Structure formats: C-alpha cells, structure tokens
Amino acid sequence: MSGIKILKSRFVRNAVILTATSLLLRTVGIFFRVYLAGKLGAEGMGLYQLIISIYVLGSTFASAGISTAVTRLVTDELVCGTRKSVLKILRRSIQLSVMVGVFSAGVIFFSADFISGVWLGDIRASLALKVLTVGLPFMGAGSCLRGYFMARRKAGHQSRAQLLEQTVRIAVLLLVLDRFIGKGLAAACMAVMIADTLAEMGSCGLLAAGYFWDKRKLKARNGTPKEQKVVSRLLTIAVPITAGRYLTTALRTVENILVPGCLAKFYLSKETGLAQFGMLKGMAMPLLFFPASFLSALSTLLVPEISEAAALGNKKRVNTAVCRTLHLTLSAAVLIAGVFFLYAKQLGMVFYGSAEVGFLLTVLAPLMPLMYMESLIDGILKGLNQQVSSLKYNVADSVVRIGLILLVVPYRGMEGFLFVMVVSNMLTSLLNLHRLLTVTGIKMQWFRWVLGPVIAIAGSVGLSWLIGRTPAAQSLPHLVLLIAGAAVIVIVYGLLLAVMGCLPKFRRQRADDSGQEAVYTDTALEEVLG
C-alpha cells in the first residue's frame, strides 16, 4: 500500500492526530509541571494533588461514562439508525451531563470548607475547591461532544479543543500565578484552579462550535432507531461506567487523603509527608505516563471501532484487533520500562533536579507494562460492553489499596506506599487481562508478547549499562547520556525482537461474509484493526 493510501486511512489518520496532539500536550505539560513544581515546591505540589483528587471526584460524577456511552450509541446509530436519532442522543446526553455537573458543583461549593478542613485536613484547599466547581458543567458537556466526535471518527475536533485548553491554562497561569503566590499556597492553588476552569470552558466552547459546523454534514443510514428510549440507553452504558469510576475515584480520593497523613506519621512531620506525596503523584507519575501518548490514542480509538465490529457481529475483526493491540502495547511498554529503569536517575535530575524522584522512577519503571496494558484493556472492555467487570475489579483494587495503606505506610513510609502500588497494579492488570481473554476467547502468545520482549530488553539494557560505565560516558551531561543510552536500547531491542521473531506484525486480514480469511496484504499501523 502506498504512503498516500496509508494516510487516507481513517484509523491511522485519527491515530496520528491524537498521538501527535498527546505527545505535544504531554511534552508541554511535563515542562509546565516542572515550572509549577518550582513555584509551589514539593509541599505545594502535595496540596495541589489533594485538591486535584476532589476535582477528579467531582468531574467523574459530572462526565465519566457519558463520553463512552455517547460514542457507542452514536456509532450504532450511524450504522443502523437515522440522522435524527444521532442528534437526539447527543442532545439528551448533554442535558443529562450538565444537570449532573451543576449538582456536583453545588455539593462541592457549599461543602468546600468541610471537605478541606475535615477530609483533606488542610483548610488552605477551600478557595481552590470553590473555584473548580464552575468548570464542572462545561466538563460534562465537553465529554458528550468528545464522545460524538470519536464516533464520527473526527479526532481533529478533539485535538484542537485539547490544544486550546492547554494554551489557555498555561497563558492564564503565566499571567496570574506570580501575583497570587506571594499570598501563600492557598492563593497559589486557587490561581491554578482558575486557569483550569477557564481552560475547560474554552475547550467546551470550541467543541460546541465544531459540532454545529459538523452536524450539517451528518449522514446516517436510513435504518430504524431502536425502540428503547435514549436516556435509558445512555444510562444502561453510562451508569455502570460512571458508578465504577465514581466509586473507584471516591476510594482513590480516600487513598489520597490517607497517604499524606500516614506518611506524616512515619516521618513525624505533616510538611514532609505532604512533600513526599507531591513528589510521587505530582512529579514522578506524570513522567511515567508521558510516553503513553500513542497507547492512549489507540485506546480511545478502539472503543468505536470495536463497538462497530461487535454491533455487526464480526468477532474475527474484534479478536484480530485485540491480539495486535496487546502485542504492540506490551512490546512498546517493555521497551519504555527498560529505558526508565536504567536512566531513572538522569530523568529525575534533568526534569526536577531531584535524585529522590529518580529513585521513585527506578522502583515504578518495571510496573509500566502493567500500567499501560491496564489502560488499553479498559478501553477494549468498554467497547465489548464489559464495563460491569471493570467496576468489580476497580472496587476490589481500591479496597485492597486502602487496607494496605493503613497497614503498611505508617510503618514503612514511602517504601510501603511503593509496595502498595506494586500489588495494586499487578492485581488490576491481571484481572482485566483474564476477563478480556475470557470474553474474546483469544490465547496469550507468551513468548512473542511477553518473554521475547523481556529477554530483548534485558540484553539491550545490559549493553547500554556497560557502555554507560565507560569513562567517556560517565563524563557526559545527564541529558546527553540519557539520549545516547536510550538510542542504544531502542536499536538493540528492535534487533533482538526481530531475531527472535517477536516484532509486532501488521497485516491486513480481510474476510468474506462467512468469516473465512480471504486476502492478506502488507500494510501499516492502521491495520492493527485487521
């Protein structure tokens, strides 16, 4: 297939758009996070993360689940419904999400002092919490519009909204943060929330403008809309997802409230406990998830594609997509984990000038394949209508995490919390993987997907480590050593995978009406869907 034809592919075009946008935003976000950490300090980042935990709780209630529900229902109607039914779904979903957003905003606004003083144990969070409530209805409406554009396979609208959102956020903070920071951490965190709120409003406005432009070109097959009412269909999908995320987020919020207190008991200092928490959640974790840009885009795009295949009864296409995306995800994640593990110290020093952040990255790097796989499988399971299973696993995971935090962290400090994270990620990723394999009936190819990449990364990391021990390499600046060492790992890793026959292969598999394989042609990344 020629390069022009590849670029015309709907899937690869959207994948490129979302990946490029995600990479750009994450790159800007990482450097801006460094700027923010420099302004707020470790304690300020810890307070900011506590506020964000409540923000996530409110936004989950306002928007979680509705985007996936809109994507799936609009996808179904585009296949076998009418233009009128598509527009009705979006209209009802926006009405529902805005109502929920206003309700959750009211709850947080009028209880901000109680949440800050009693739940978070830090009254400085109150002003920021009141400010963030303004953006919740806009977040709900924006989630519906994003779901619509995903179903329409028009990732450009979402990408432009994300770019505007980040631009507004950074511009506002650069303008106001210095004016607020002299008044204390409470005012500084409020400034951050003002920027986030304005960014959310701008993003929603741009998505709405895109929708009014797009709906004039909207076409759907002249099918028969389903008899079930729109709200009922929305709630059937959205409620389990929202309940799962809300319950999980609520439990994670409890966790985020408990961790600084438990760390404070170990270190005998509230400020130190908050600083340790901020270092992990506000500095190390964003770095760990920075390379997941492509996989995040792939996970988002898989929901409508797999939903459509499932609606058409094309199980072969679903299973082909699952196999190829799992293989790709594990191969890429193992590579990234190897680079982070070997060069954790350099990453911590380059971005934050902190050896402690580097230590956290060293411990958590081996978990990256599990983290990335869990995120991808979550998207696949939603496309297969398995959101209830995800709910059960997430709740079980959160209960285990909270129990271990109370038992371990007060006596082992950050070391204990890292242990909790290891147990948690292993539990959820393996449970979700087992469910996916059960639902689809596919078999794990352990050597090609797991053992081969592990052998390859061990060899490439070992060689890069030996080169890095030479006097010439030791004299290099951290950034230069990081780039050169990562390049060696990538090249050797790819060669070893090729030698072992473990490189992901992307072949287009076409099938006739009976489901029998008919034609194979070499192609590019979009054929991950077969």
Report the C-alpha gap between 228 and 224 in whole angstroms: 12
User: Given CA atoms 376, 279, 348, 21 in this order, what sign does their dihedral have?
Assistant: positive
Cα-Cα-Cα-Cα dihedral of 18, 23, 24, 28, to 10°? 140
Q: Which residues of 39-64 are buried (b: 16+ CB within 10 A; e: fewer)?
A: bbbbbbbbbbbbbbbbbbbbbbbbbb
User: Given CA atoms 205, 287, 183, 105 in this order, what sign does their dihedral have?
Assistant: positive
Is the pLDDT reported for residue 220 higher than 70? no
DSSP, residue by residue, 284-323: IHHHHHGGGHHHHHHHHHHHHHHHHHHHTT-HHHHHHHHH
pLDDT in tens, 223-269: 555 545 666 777 677 666 666 667 777 777 788 888 888 998 898 88
pTM value?
0.65
- For residues 113-128, average pLDDT: 88
User: Given CA atoms 211, 215, 216, 218 in this order, what sign does their dihedral have?
Assistant: positive
Identify the pLDDT of residue 305.
62
- Placement of tokens 């959820």 in the chain: 428
Residue type for 329, please?
Answer: T
Identify the pLDDT of residue 517.
32
Identify the pLDDT of residue 335.
92
Identify the pLDDT of residue 311.
61
Report the C-alpha gap between 198 and 165 in whole angstroms: 8
Is the pLDDT reported for residue 408 higher than 90? yes
Report the C-alpha gap between 152 and 83 in whole angstroms: 12
Identify the pLDDT of residue 357.
87
- What percent of the chain is modeled with pLDDT above 90? 19
Integer angstrom CA distances of residue 82 from 5, 78, 148, 309 = 30, 7, 15, 19
Cα-Cα-Cα-Cα dihedral of 72, 77, 78, 83, to 10°? -130
Is the pLDDT reported for residue 65 higher than 50? yes
Q: How far is CA 96 from the centre of its chain?
A: 24
Identify the pLDDT of residue 3.
41
Helices 10-63 and 185-214, axial angle in degrees (round to 10): 130
Identify the burial level of 529 via C-beta atoms within 10 angstroms of its C-beta, where 0-12 means exposed, 13-18 middle and 19 or more buried: buried
Report the C-alpha gap between 526 and 367 in whole angstroms: 27
DSSP H or E segment with residue 333: helix 315-342
Local confidence band at 340 (pLDDT 50, 70, 90 cut-offs) = very high
- Placement of tokens 């008899």 in the chain: 227
Local confidence band at 504 (pLDDT 50, 70, 90 cut-offs) = confident
Identify the pLDDT of residue 203.
92
Cβ 282 vs Cβ 48: under 8 Å: yes
DSSP H or E segment with residue 374: helix 368-383
Identify the pLDDT of residue 313.
65
Report the C-alpha gap between 418 and 147 in whole angstroms: 35
Identify the pLDDT of residue 493.
94
Is the pLDDT reported for residue 376 higher than 50? yes
Least confident of 131-140, 397-406, 485-494, 507-516: 507-516
Half-sphere exposure of 49 (CA within 13 A, CB side): 30
Local confidence band at 490 (pLDDT 50, 70, 90 cut-offs) = very high
Cβ atoms within 10 Å, residue 295? 24
DSSP, residue by residue, 455-502: HHHHHHHHHHHHHHTSHHHHTS-HHHHHHHHHHHHHHHHHHHHHHHT-
Whole-number CA gyration radius for the chain? 23
Integer angstrom CA distances of residue 481 from 135, 286, 346 = 43, 22, 8
- What percent of the chain is modeled with pLDDT above 70? 80
Query: Alpha helix (H) ranges present in 111-229?
Result: 112-114, 126-132, 136-151, 155-181, 185-214
Query: How does the average pLDDT of the chain come out, rounded?
Result: 79
pLDDT in tens, 461-486: 999 999 888 888 878 787 888 888 88
Nearest to 336 by CA among 360, 374, 365: 365
Is the pLDDT reported for residue 519 higher than 50? no
pLDDT in tens, 124-170: 889 999 998 999 899 889 888 988 888 887 877 888 888 899 899 99
Report the C-alpha gap between 332 and 445 in whole angstroms: 16
Structure tokens at 267: 């270190």
Local confidence band at 460 (pLDDT 50, 70, 90 cut-offs) = very high
Local confidence band at 317 (pLDDT 50, 70, 90 cut-offs) = confident
Cβ 402 vs Cβ 424: under 8 Å: no
Structure tokens at 244: 């799962």
Nearest to 472 by CA among 484, 463, 460: 484
User: Given CA atoms 106, 108, 109, 115 in this order, what sign does their dihedral have?
Assistant: positive
Report the C-alpha gap between 313 and 321 in whole angstroms: 14
Q: Which residue has the higher pLDDT, 198 or 350?
A: 198
Identify the pLDDT of residue 5.
45
Identify the pLDDT of residue 526.
33
Identify the pLDDT of residue 476.
79
- For residues 91-114, average pLDDT: 88
Is the pLDDT reported for residue 529 higher than 70? no
